[in-house]
């Protein structure tokens, strides 16, 4: 497993893309967490193809970032057709239909870094959220 997002401002690439979608594509961000190799989001978007656009844009930015900072690891992201793949092809979207489901997903997202041992206390991750300046 390759940890991709935890260095060289790669969380910033993700945050900038989300911020762009908030400002220009009507994205509403309810909750998020950036992990070392994946992200969780609760969003509302009227824009068709948000996930596709997000992955396409961030893939280009991540490739440039890795070429500049860690070119030796870029080959880890080559797929069997010699294209770079930073995201899995499938997503796991779930439609939120009840308040209880919504609260459970938000709690899962916000406590994920604690469960994984990335931070010791939930309040420790607030420094990351403040740095990224996303309104969640």
DSSP state letters, 52-68? HHHHHHHHHHHHHHHHH
Domain membership flag for residue 1: no
Q: Is the dihedral of CA 26, 40, 89, 55 positive or negative?
A: positive
CATH number (domain holding residue 99)? 3.30.70.1290
Judge whether residue 136 has pLDDT over 50. no
What is the domain extent for residue 27? 10-132
CB-CB neighbours of 131 under 10 Å: 11
Q: Is the pLDDT of residue 27 over 70?
A: yes
Per-residue model confidence (pLDDT) at position 93: 82
Confidence (pLDDT) at 114: 84
Give the chain's domain count: 1
- pLDDT tens track for 59-111: 999 999 999 999 999 999 999 999 999 998 888 788 899 999 999 999 999 88
- pTM, whole model, 2 decimals? 0.83
The verdict on residue 3 lying in a domain is no
SS3 133: coil
pLDDT above 90 coverage of the chain, percent: 56
User: What average pLDDT does the structure give for the chain?
Assistant: 86
Burial 58-86 (b: 16+ CB within 10 A, else e): bbebbeebbeeeeeeeeeebeeeeeebeb
Mind listing the pLDDT tens digit for each residue in 97-128? 999 999 999 999 988 888 888 777 666 555 55
What CA–CA distances, in Å, run from 38 to 23, 29, 41, 133?
23, 17, 10, 19
Rounded distance between C-alpha atoms, residue 118 and residue 18, angstroms = 22
């Amino acid at each position: 497993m390759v940890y991709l997002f935890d260095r060289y401002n790669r969380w910033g690439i993700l945050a900038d893309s989300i911020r762009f979608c908030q400002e220009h594509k009507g994205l509403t961000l309810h909750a998020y967490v950036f992990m070392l190799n994946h992200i969780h989001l609760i969003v509302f978007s009227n824009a068709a193809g948000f996930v596709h656009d997000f992955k396409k844009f961030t893939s280009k930015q991540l490739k440039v970032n890795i070429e500049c900072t860690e070119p030796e690891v870029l080959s880890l992201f080559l797929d069997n057709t010699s294209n770079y793949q930073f995201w899995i092809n499938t997503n796991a979207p779930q439609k939120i239909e009840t308040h209880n489901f919504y609260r459970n997903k938000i709690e899962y997202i916000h406590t994920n870094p604690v469960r994984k041992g990335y931070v010791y206390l939930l309040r420790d991750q607030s420094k990351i959220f403040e740095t990224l300046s996303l309104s969640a």
